[in-house]
Amino acid sequence: MKAQLFSYWNRMRSSFWFLPILMACAAVGLALATTALDRGDTLRALRADGWLFTGGAEGASTVLGTIAGSMITIVGIVFSMTLVTLSLASSQFGPRLLRNFMRDTTYQLVLGIFVATFLYCLLVLRTIRHAEGVEAFVPHLSVTLGVLLAVFSLGVLIYFIHHVSVAIQANEIIARLSQELCAGIEQLFPEPAGTPAPLSAEPAAEKGVPVPAQHSGYLQFIDLEALLALARQHDLVLRLACRPGEHLITGQPLLWVQPPSADAASLTDAVNAAFVLGNQRTAGQDLLFVVNQLVEIAVRALSPGINDPFTAMACLDRLGIGLVQVAGRQPPAPQRLDGDGTLRLIAPPLTFCAVADAAFDPIREYGCSSVAVSLKLLDTLAVVAPALRSPQQRDCLARHGRRVARRAGECLNDEEDRQQVARRCDDLLRLLARVSGPA
């Protein structure tokens, strides 16, 4: 159930229709409520004091018709601006960033406000009765509220123009991705289901009976609590065969069931219900996806057609923040225990080195011909170094530093540039030796 809720919520957050529909429904309820108040006598004093609209039926119809026409025109303008923003972001920073723009609630709220104002004015307009054989009815409160909504919508339009102009700036996009990366690290390092077990708790020899995937797609979410409950119910140990972000095909193992004598076929539906697969990767449990987005921006900036090393260096600054945060946290153990202390789940771990490889390998390869990017890579490694907590992390950064220096030596044409990168690499290795022991 939790996996399905995650799937539905993720789809709604990434859609342009969910919030506008909710706000349109709210506009219908508001129109019914204000017209009901207008039919009573409770607002007579406010009309007499001039706080409400005091015109006749013709004037009310003109005001509401003008507002409704203006709102539907602005909706078209906002929609066009949104499409231009999405097109620019896709071509400049990569198509995978469209998800971030579509999840931006500002775009959804702005569309919803204009649609709701249009619908409200339209519904109130139909309640106005002119004096033609029946008693005239002018919803004074409703017309006044329509005017206030129009004024508020004008302010929203100004804010939307400002928001779009800020949202397409490279530094702003990189900063938002960095915030998402830090939030993902807070959640996943460590926030495992169950209780971490010592490494010796893992049975090393056998994998068990595989449970195949019933569908193909990118693994977006794993309901670990449901798997723990399933393993406890049947007295099993489940060994996960994949991590969020990996692409699976039908029939590929999702996990192995131990002991091998277990009836894995009877668990297929229940196990598949705990895995959410989709057409694209998401950042819910896939930390490397956010890292890859920052790397993609950096790699695109380093392409010959753009040649913008400063954007790549800004991405390295943000990746350094994430690596410092990962290095300073205890990674979750791969084994999960239930409430009774019994081993129930074994998950493939996400290590500091895996995050560092995803962050630095592509940028090193595409930026090796830029002395500024090579030096920035080494500086970023030096920033991460003081946060290291294990020899494995130290060895990982030392390996990356040596590879940066070697690739720069192969790609840079100027001897002084090569020597400068080599000296910076030596400084990094000495720093690592002081921080974590001999390199």
Tens digit of each residue's pLDDT (9 = 90 or more) over 201-255: 444 445 688 999 999 999 999 998 899 989 998 888 999 999 999 999 999 999 9
Q: Is the pLDDT of residue 439 over 80?
A: no
Beta bridge pairs of residue 275: 222
Which one has a higher pLDDT value, 273 or 98?
273
Tens digit of each residue's pLDDT (9 = 90 or more) over 51-106: 677 778 888 899 999 999 999 999 988 888 888 888 888 888 888 888 888 888 88
Task: Point out the least confidently predicted range of 49-58, 344-353, 354-363, 386-395.
Answer: 49-58
Chain centroid offset of residue 411 CA: 35
Q: Of 142, 157, 159, 151, give the one whose Cα is nearest residue 27.
A: 142
Average pLDDT, the chain: 86
Q: Of 334, 330, 342, give the one whose Cα is nearest residue 196.
A: 334
What is the DSSP code (8-state) at residue 129? B
Distance CA 170, CA 177 (A): 11
Which one has a higher pLDDT value, 42 or 96?
96
Side chain identity at residue 176, one-letter code: R
Return the pLDDT at 138: 81
Full-model pTM: 0.84
Return the pLDDT at 298: 95
Neighbours of 179 (CB within 10 A): 13
Return the pLDDT at 88: 83
Beta bridge pairs of residue 221: 276
Name the strands in the sheet holding 275-278, side by side, starting at the edge strand that comes first in the sequence. Answer: 247-248, 217-222, 275-278
End-to-end CA distance of the chain, in Å?
Answer: 49
Distance CA 211, CA 206 (A): 15
The residue assigned the tokens 């003081």 is 386
Tens digit of each residue's pLDDT (9 = 90 or more) over 100-143: 888 888 888 999 999 999 999 999 998 888 766 556 788 888 89
Query: CA-based angle 51:53:54, to the nearest 5?
Result: 100
Percent of the chain's residues with pLDDT above 70: 90
